Structure 1
């Protein structure tokens, strides 16, 4: 492991000498991730993107490679679609998540390489690190944090940062 890795532990996420409270998927940790199981996949996952709401997050607080979320940005979660587990644009008829949400949950998103870029159907989509709805509330498989902690983490990411879920 590298000092630049995000490491999930039983007591939170460890990064750069700090430990952050976080929540994981309602299905716990898994070695056999499936679409809709609510589980967080074990493994070493590269952070492949950093998305943010430019109307809510000051880009000067983020690495230069962060990308703004546009009003029409979506994420395809339809296992039978050719764009499964990819960012797509509205209008889009297949099942998807809206990335520019009215709530703050996706104001900043760290995108992992789980089942990406070549997605296996039904192996799960969109394992993000994002803001939690509230402390202790499980996610659909992602890892969630308090906003201030997620911003602190995002500001210190490097392009070679990995997420380690043991």
Structure 2
């Protein structure tokens, strides 16, 4: 399957807002999307709403966490992503910088629907909607699936 990564390539030293995808081997978290849970999905699934946000405000205790909030998000966080937009019609969380969370090391790394095969992401992995759906249906949490992110050279540093 074709896919795209961050507009500035891969990095072994990810920083918030650098436009790079983190090198490493990561497990998957919750699948999500603005649509009803697809049939045949084994991953946990959360249907997003207008109140769902992923927080990338480095000064917040909510940094790199999914939050549901019914107030004005700009009053609560300096920076956040809305989880109910078109690129997140279907996706899954990639467990990058989640345990422990290190502020400034990067947030909101997902596998999601792309804008197109020549349109990079801000740091996520993205692919055609049909391929995201096929991959989400293939992933079985009982098998402990992981994603390997990086170039052959950059992965030499991964333990």
State TM-score, norm by structure 2: 0.84
Instruction: Specify whether residues 135 and 141 from structure 1 end up closer, same or farther in structure 2 by C-alpha distance, changes over 3 A only.
Output: same
Instruction: Specify whether residues 64 and 123 from structure 1 end up closer, same or farther in structure 2 by C-alpha distance, changes over 3 A only.
Output: closer
- Give the Å deviation of 1:123: 0.2
Q: Which residue of 2 aligns with 1:22?
A: 3
* CA contact 1:50–1:110 (8 Å) conserved in 2: yes
Q: Is 1:132 the counterpart of 2:114 in the alignment?
A: yes
Question: Structure 2: any 5+ residue segments left out of the alignment?
Answer: 150-154
Distance 2:22 2:146 in 1: 14
Distance 1:28 1:65 in 2: 29
- Give the Å deviation of 1:135: 1.5
Distance 1:51 1:149 in 2: 15
- Give the Å deviation of 1:41: 0.5
Q: How does 1:2-151 map to 2 (within 5 A)?
A: 20-53=1-34, 56-63=35-42, 65-90=44-69, 91=71, 92=73, 93-94=76-77, 95-101=79-85, 104-151=86-133
Distance 2:62 2:17 in 1: 17
Distance 1:25 1:31 in 2: 13
> Which whole-Å deviations, capped at 9, do the CAs of 1:16-69 have from their partners, x for residues lacking one?
xxxx1000001101000000000001111110111122xx34531422522222
* CA contact 1:76–1:83 (8 Å) conserved in 2: yes
* CA contact 2:30–2:43 (8 Å) conserved in 1: no
State TM-score, norm by structure 1: 0.81
> Which whole-Å deviations, capped at 9, do the CAs of 1:102-144 have from their partners, x for residues lacking one?
xx21011110110114311110001100000111111000001
